[in-house]
Amino acid sequence: MPSDNPFHYGTPAEGDFFTGRRRELDALVARMRDGINVVLVSPRRYGKTSLHRAAQARLAASRPPAAIVEANLLHAGSPSRFAALLAGAAFQIRGARWARARQAVPEFVRRLRVAPTVSFDQAGNPRFGFDAALGARELDEVVSDVYALLAEEQGRRPVALVLDEFQALDLVGLQLPNLLKGLADAYPAVGLVLAGSKRHLMERLVSHREAPLYGMAQRITLGPIPEDEMVAYLVARAVTGGRPMDGTTARYILDLAGPVPNDVQHLAYDAFEAATSRVDRGAVDAGMARAVAHDAALFAELLARLSPAQVRVITTLAYQPVAQPYSASFARSVGLATGSSVRKTLLPLLENDDVVERDGVLVVADPFFAAWLRGDG
């Protein structure tokens, strides 16, 4: 009997692990292919990275394959690291003149006004680095040069620049939005995809009339995958893994872990591991207990960082989502004097996505953390 787990979580879902989003995927592929700028927004773990990776995969399989550069701002952490990520991704553009060849590195470096340091790994692949003191002007030049490299590929194939976790902009330079606006105007055939998971920060950058990138891109927003699609996916994947489940069990997984796709796959993964011949309700309960136990130490650390008032609020929400958190009755139930005190207490929890609003009520974002707070499992 097959033993490979057919579910995946924790990193972007690619290949057979990617499901749903057909309409959003078609829309994103079309816009990247046609050089239309896109702002892709979703809550954390809803699959925005999985979506744009699926779009990139489809465009890479086209003829001719698209030229795409991707960089994640959260992985950058500094202007110099962001520049290095961009340079490395640009060097790997399929079918470019340097074509990832070691002997072509000098030619590639000459295309950059700010010269990087170059080292090679054991396989002979180059690694680019920039001075830790890289300034705003130098970063602008690196970004502009990468944009220009992409523009040179336009005319014979689609080209795009994908910046993931764009809300982390302050890590790499607050002047970047104005630069990107200018580059988008200068190179209209280069599709720009700005993906982010902090809705309020993304809106400040791109959606408000006073935002630096307002009006330059079409917005695609991700919500939950429709329940019927997710149920069908869970049932089909369980069958491929050799431990089938029925639709009732799949809906039970959604009840416990939904609606975030990553959380659903997380519970399905642990339920599959706990199952013997098939995934049933007992296996799902055992999988939930495994998931909670696995992250118990992390949950304890998270709770230790919260204030006593925040602990009371988040624990209360774990037991019962609340539609009117600023009411006098809820304030009394969590030992706070007024709704204003609740608002002040909740603000950091909302900003960190520990607590989110879903369907008009506040809930603990992570279903496994909520189960741990309740003492389940």
- pTM, two decimals, is 0.86
Q: Which residue has the higher pLDDT, 125 or 213?
A: 125
Residue 109 CA to residue 27 CA, distance in Å, equals 35
pLDDT tens track for 11-33: 998 888 999 899 999 999 999 99
Contacts of 232 (CB under 8 A, 6+ apart): none
Q: Which residue has the higher pLDDT, 2 or 55?
A: 55
SS3 content of the chain, % helix, strand, coil (to 5): 55, 10, 35
What is the length of the chain?
Answer: 377
Name the burial class of residue 167, with classes exposed (0-12), middle (13-18) and buried (19+) by CB atoms within 10 angstroms of its CB: buried
pLDDT tens track for 203-239: 776 766 776 677 788 888 898 999 999 999 999 999 9
The C-alpha angle 348, 352, 357, rounded to 5 degrees, equals: 90
Crossing angle (nearest 10°) for helices 281-294 and 296-304: 50
Distances (CA, A) of 259 to 82, 229, 275, 363: 33, 12, 23, 12
Residue 324 CA to residue 317 CA, distance in Å, equals 11
Residue 112 CA to residue 372 CA, distance in Å, equals 51
The answer to whether 161 and 69 are in contact (CB under 8 A) is yes
Q: What is the arithmetic mean of pLDDT over 249-267? A: 96
Distances (CA, A) of 204 to 40, 166, 369: 14, 12, 30
Q: What is the arithmetic mean of pLDDT over 60-67? A: 90
Contacts of 22 (CB under 8 A, 6+ apart): none
Residue 119 forms beta bridges with which residues?
127
pLDDT at 57 over 70: yes
The confidence band for 1, taking pLDDT boundaries of 50, 70 and 90, is: very low
pLDDT at 360 over 70: yes
> What pLDDT, on the 0 to 100 scale, is given for residue 97?
66
pLDDT at 200 over 70: no
pLDDT at 171 over 90: no
Q: What is the arithmetic mean of pLDDT over 83-107? A: 82
Mean of the per-residue pLDDT values of the chain: 91
Q: What is the arithmetic mean of pLDDT over 142-158? A: 91
**Dihedral sign of CA atoms 34, 35, 41, 44 in order:** positive
Share of the chain above pLDDT 90, in %: 70
